[in-house]
Amino acid sequence: MAAVVPSRTAFRPMTAAVTANLAATQADRAAPGNQARGHGLNAFSALRFARWRLHKYDGSISPIPVLRETRARRRGGGLHSASALTDTAAGLQRIPGMIPRRSSAWNAAFRVAYATIRIMDPLLRWTWFSVGLGITSRLTVRGRRTGRERSVLVGLIRVGGRWYVGHPNGEVAWTRNLLSSRSARVFPRPEAPVDVAAAPLDQGPERDAVIYATSEQQPFPANLLYRGARRHILSEGRYFRLEPR
């Protein structure tokens, strides 16, 4: 089937919405009190936070802006504010194909991927300790049966100033230990341990926002895996919020 190429007029709703957002930004900047704080966004920031998706299945353009997320950041609420998380999750739900669904194929793919990571674990730990590995951090948690401390390399996801960790393919040994102990020690850098309390995330806007952020923050090529498996992760993933103690 031939690809549908939208006409130039189809982009007008997008342009109008971004222009309106810029006007609102300028008005907020001119408001009393905001000038002293230096709040406000330029055109690049507005375009960055207005996320658009081009749906070619029917030739229409459907904007999915997350603009209240931007305003929450400007006002000091952070991305973890309720409205920002709700908007991000709503954007996820409106993207076609984002209904959570377990996939046997992705389940097998993640098993193979993590089996490979276990084989490469000594090399990955040495690299992390020496030069760092992106968002990779070390998580130390007490075993639920032995009581001994166990450490694992995890991706430390940051959303609105909060820390999150998780596994995309359901429960594994370290997530069970973390669920049992509800506390851990995280090493964003080898020399900077932080004691944290862990709270499991139920299905909802906060968890959805974390899963979305995971696919954006993971380095290449892991980000492609997380994006492709997003529906499976929404169904099966186990995630925790980490709060410094």
Task: Tell me: pLDDT of 220 over 90.
Answer: no
Give CA–CA dist 234/208, Å, rounded.
Answer: 7
Q: Note whether 113 and 69 are same-domain residues.
A: no
Task: Kindly state whether residue 240 falls inside one of the protein's structural domains.
Answer: yes
Give CA–CA dist 81/98, Å, rounded.
Answer: 23
Task: Kindly state whether residue 114 falls inside one of the protein's structural domains.
Answer: yes
What was the pLDDT predicted at 77?
47
Q: Note whether 59 and 115 are same-domain residues.
A: no
- Backbone dihedral angles phi then psi of residue 189, each to the nearest 5 degrees: -130, 155
Q: Note whether 118 and 200 are same-domain residues.
A: yes
Q: Note whether 109 and 195 are same-domain residues.
A: yes
Q: Note whether 64 and 118 are same-domain residues.
A: no
Q: What tokens were used for 212?
A: 């979305």
- The least confident of 30-34, 52-56, 182-186 is 52-56
Task: Kindly state whether residue 191 falls inside one of the protein's structural domains.
Answer: yes
Range of the domain at 153: 104-244
| Strand partners for 158 | 163
Mean pLDDT for the stretch of residues 131-137 = 90
Task: Kindly state whether residue 161 falls inside one of the protein's structural domains.
Answer: yes
Q: Note whether 51 and 111 are same-domain residues.
A: no
Task: Kindly state whether residue 95 falls inside one of the protein's structural domains.
Answer: no
Q: Note whether 113 and 166 are same-domain residues.
A: yes
Q: Note whether 114 and 59 are same-domain residues.
A: no
What was the pLDDT predicted at 192?
87
Give CA–CA dist 59/91, Å, rounded.
Answer: 19
Model pTM? 0.62
Q: Note whether 48 and 115 are same-domain residues.
A: no
Give the count of domains, the chain.
Answer: 2
Task: Tell me: pLDDT of 8 over 70.
Answer: no
Q: Note whether 123 and 64 are same-domain residues.
A: no
pLDDT band of 112, cuts 50, 70, 90: very high
Task: Tell me: pLDDT of 17 over 60.
Answer: no
Task: Kindly state whether residue 89 falls inside one of the protein's structural domains.
Answer: no
Q: Note whether 71 and 120 are same-domain residues.
A: no
Q: Note whether 161 and 205 are same-domain residues.
A: yes
Domain boundary among 61, 76, 91: 76
Handedness of CA 24, 215, 208, 151 (dihedral sign): negative
Domain boundary among 25, 57, 76: 76
Task: Kindly state whether residue 97 falls inside one of the protein's structural domains.
Answer: no
3-state secondary structure the chain: CCCCCCCHHHHHHHHHHHHHHHHHHHHHHHCCCHHHHCCCCCHHHHHHHCCEEEECCCCEEEECCCHHHHHHHHCCCCCCCHHHHHHHHHHHHHCCCCCCCCCHHHHHHHHHHHHHHHHCHHHHHHHHHHCCCCCEEEEEEECCCCCCEEEEEEECEEECCEEEEEECCCCCHHHHHHHHHCEEEEEEECCEEEEEEEEECCCCHHHHHHHHHHHHHCCCCHHHHHHHCHHHHHHHCEEEEEEEC
Task: Kindly state whether residue 81 falls inside one of the protein's structural domains.
Answer: no
56 against 108, higher pLDDT: 108
CATH code for the domain in which residue 166 is found: 2.30.110.10
Domain boundary among 57, 76, 95: 76
Cα–Cα distance list, 99 to 26, 62, 93, 199 (Å): 37, 18, 7, 25
